[in-house]
Amino acid sequence: MARERNVKLEALLKEHGLKHHELADEVNRLAEDEFGERVNCTDRHVRRWISGEVQWPWARYLLPLQHIFGRSPEAMGFVPRKSSRIPPPPRPAPVKEQRPVRRREFVFVAAGLAAALGIDAIPAAGRLGTSDVERIRAIVPALYTHDHALGGGALHEVAAQALRRVHHALNHCTYGERTERALYAAAGDLAASAGWFAYDAGQQEDATSLYNEALQAGMLAGDGMLQARVWSNLAMQARLLDRDQEALRIGRAAVETRQAKGDPWLMALLHCRQAVGHARTGDRTRAERSLIRAERAYDRVQGQPAAWLSFLTPAELTGLAGAAHQALGQHARAQQLTASALAMLEPRFERNRVYYTAQRAQALLDDGDIEEAAAEAGRAVGIAGRVQSERIRGKLGDLRLQMRRHMDVPAAADFLEQTRQMGA
């Protein structure tokens, strides 16, 4: 078989700003510190993995690599042989010091959460009733409570597992017409949530598939609010993929739905996201108009929002306004707004705190305040240990790459050294 270069692993090194010897050093450190094993990895090993000379590393290397990049061997571009065995989760070495929560601990969190949510209690046969639907619907609010702290990387597989159980129930149980509509609405809610977690975890193909499933379920259930929600998330995904005009068109379709117009919570969020979209295309007038509309909509909110909208607080609105000003090139205003958002942010929104700390660092950097930007970026990295979000990893990675242009500034050099030692 012809040798094929491992472009996936090569891209991961570039994304994380790692040279061959730096990855080898990190593999050695993790193998010894986390797993209690000396492995003597060198840059030669890394070159052989990238060239395709070695298509499936030994397990003693795969474990640390999975730990570093948070991906399966196949997702890192490795090709298993028939005899290849994916290494099991490692047994932790004796604790030497307090360390941030890392990838393997998310596996245990997810497993415990699946049990706590009672996913196995979803019926696999028999007749379903209202209590069964309520049990399924209760899964989503519980998942979002953890999402605010942990990020989608820790949850998308749990949500997908729950969704598979619901699919089985839909196809193997009996139920009346009213229960059927409620079941499709619950399945759509779960699919949209799983799509969001996959999006946050960087699994964009899975996210698209789940969003499409949620749209279909929303149509079968006659749930217009669910459909508007999915359109909003699809717009965010298009923006992440640098398809800004597509994102604006999708967002406009969501804004114009009857359900969005009747729900000020959703309307406030949609207008905020449209503001960022207009700003990214350089349309200052429409961006500012959308921010005003978002504020007016939020002034009309009452009661509690749906679980998936529970992150929409004054802090979030302010942070999104900061993102819009940042995209418009108004960096000083962006960092001021983002600082205000951070001051208002509740402790439970740990993922958003990392996100907006990185956003403020970016605004400071773009405004020319290198020392304060490096300090803020360091704070973002310092509090990111519990959060499993590829979006945030991407923002921190971008900061690190840009900070390299300012290595003559001691604070920037210190930040780069800090993140190198942490494997960030």
- CA 309 distance to own-chain centroid: 16
Angle, helices 103-116/156-172, rounded to nearest 10 degrees: 30
Could you tell me how many residues make up the chain?
424
Read off the pLDDT of residues 129-150 as tens digits, 9 standing for 90 and up: 888 888 888 888 888 877 877 7
- Residue 359: pLDDT over 90: yes
- Round to whole Å and give the CA distance between 126 and 168: 12
Read off the pLDDT of residues 163-185 as tens digits, 9 standing for 90 and up: 988 989 889 999 998 999 999 99
- The structural domains of the chain, ordered by start, are 7-76 (1.10.260), 313-424 (1.25.40.10)
Q: 364 CB contacts (<8 Å, ≥6 apart)?
A: 331, 335, 372, 373, 376
DSSP code string of 337-395:
HHHHHHHH--TT-HHHHHHHHHHHHHHHHHTT-HHHHHHHHHHHHHT-TT---HHHHHH
pLDDT band for 59, please (50, 70, 90 cuts): confident
pLDDT band for 34, please (50, 70, 90 cuts): low
- Residue 269: pLDDT over 90: yes
**What's the confidence (pLDDT) of residue 313?**
94
- Round to whole Å and give the CA distance between 358 and 397: 10
User: What are all long-range contacts of 97-104, with beta carbons under 8 Å and residues at least 24 apart?
Assistant: 99/385, 100/384, 100/385, 100/386, 101/385, 101/386, 102/34, 102/67, 102/385, 103/66, 103/67, 103/70, 103/388, 104/34, 104/67
Radius of gyration of the chain from its Cα atoms, rounded to whole angstroms: 23
Q: Which of 223, 192, 225, 189 is nearest to 206 (CA)?
A: 192
- Residue 88: pLDDT over 80: no
- Round to whole Å and give the CA distance between 270 and 200: 18
